Structure 1
Amino acid sequence: MCPMSEQDPVTGFAIAVVREEGKWRCTAMPSDALRELDAVVTELRKMRSTGAVFGLLDVDDQFFLVVRPGPGGVQLFLSDAAAALDYDIAADALDQLRVEPPAEDDDDDEVWPEGAMDILADLGLPAAELAVIAGEVDLYPDEQLQIVAQRCGFADEFGRLLDSLDPIAQ
């Protein structure tokens, strides 16, 4: 696979998830969020909330990214570090995590999750379960993120938003 250039379209979705006063809300983020980690963080920080705020990204049906800004910085979870060889947003995530990407000649079939495995532990998804979800190579990232949504308790809101998104944009 060739590295993505600025002109190559990136498919998938970027969804902001907010939990406030016991209620979940999912909203779509602009498509540039699939290219730039800074764009994701900026969008999430705009969502003022006393509860949890995080982003779920499915990038080109290749990998997923969980982004959770907080007062102490930004927590990240990248489902497959090898994506950094082909996608800028994954490379940016590894850079922020201070992790070197895998070598290009590493086993392509092995998944290399990186980041805060406990990023959603306070919302019902323990680190060990997130690791298992990321390791399910037979599932597409959107399916993995649906499991994340189910485990955290916002599967209905997440599913409704995915259904409402333009299928061409996915």
Structure 2
Amino acid sequence: MSGEEPVPGFGVAVVREDGKWRCDPMDATALRELDAAITELRKTRTTGAVFGLLAIDDEFFLLLRPSPGGVSLLLSDAAAALDYDIAADALDVLRVDPPEDDEEVWPEGSLDILADLGLPAPELQVIIDEIDLYPDEQLQMIAQRLGFASEFTKHLDTILQ
């Protein structure tokens, strides 16, 4: 999917500040362009943690976490790079070649991207391995595990209406 056609899905900027979670909608361009998503997250003013949850076209999800030294990424399905520009861009940033075919699902990037917030790499791997779930359901599991499920659900209810 390229060009200016809208990409189905949603993006959520998640902020943890002073022990409280907040979820803000991300612009639709964040689903199309990795740079746009990173830039939008970097503009979020906070003294706490900020990361992005992107669910793309019921196919895969992308976690983004900007830091002063760059950005940490986790792509739930490396094979998505064969069909989606944003996934191909994520693999470029990770310096990983796209897979030869889309038969096998495996994540690429930093499985410990949310470990300091309470979601260790092995638990995130279990969520990714739930391939019968849609990306929004997997992101809901991440939100549940980290403790912002109600904020995430409220946000989803408003964008999915």
TM-score grouping bracket, smaller chain normalisation: over 0.9
Percent of aligned positions with the same letter in both sequences? 71
Matched residue type, 2:61 = F
Which residue among 119, 128, 135 is the counterpart of 1:134?
A: 128
Indicate the RMSD between aligned Cα atoms, in angstroms. Answer: 1.0
Which residue among 102, 105, 110 is the counterpart of 1:111?
A: 105
- C-alpha displacement of 1:84: 0.2
Matched residue type, 2:142 = V
Q: Secondary structure at the match of 2:105?
A: coil
Q: Secondary structure at the match of 1:13?
A: strand
Which residue among 53, 76, 88 is the counterpart of 2:85?
A: 88
CA distance in 2, matches of 1:166, 1:154: 18
- C-alpha displacement of 1:7: 4.3
CA distance in 1, matches of 2:50, 2:8: 23
Q: Is 1:45 matched up with 2:39?
A: no
Q: Secondary structure at the match of 2:62?
A: strand
Structure 1 segments (4+ residues) deviating >2 Å: none
Q: Secondary structure at the match of 1:158?
A: helix
Matched residue type, 2:65 = R
Q: Is 1:120 matched up with 2:114?
A: yes
Q: Corresponding residue for 1:165?
A: 159
CA offsets per residue over residues 101-123 of structure 1, 9 Å max, x none? Answer: 1002x5x2x21100000000011
Matched residue type, 1:99 = V
- C-alpha displacement of 1:8: 3.7
Q: Mark the runs of 5 or more structure 2 residues left unpaired by the alignment.
A: none
Say if 2:9 and 2:56, in contact at 8 Å, map to a contact too: yes
Which residue among 149, 153, 165 is the counterpart of 2:147?
A: 153
CA distance in 2, matches of 1:112, 1:11: 22
Say if 2:6 and 2:28, in contact at 8 Å, map to a contact too: no
CA distance in 2, matches of 1:94, 1:136: 22
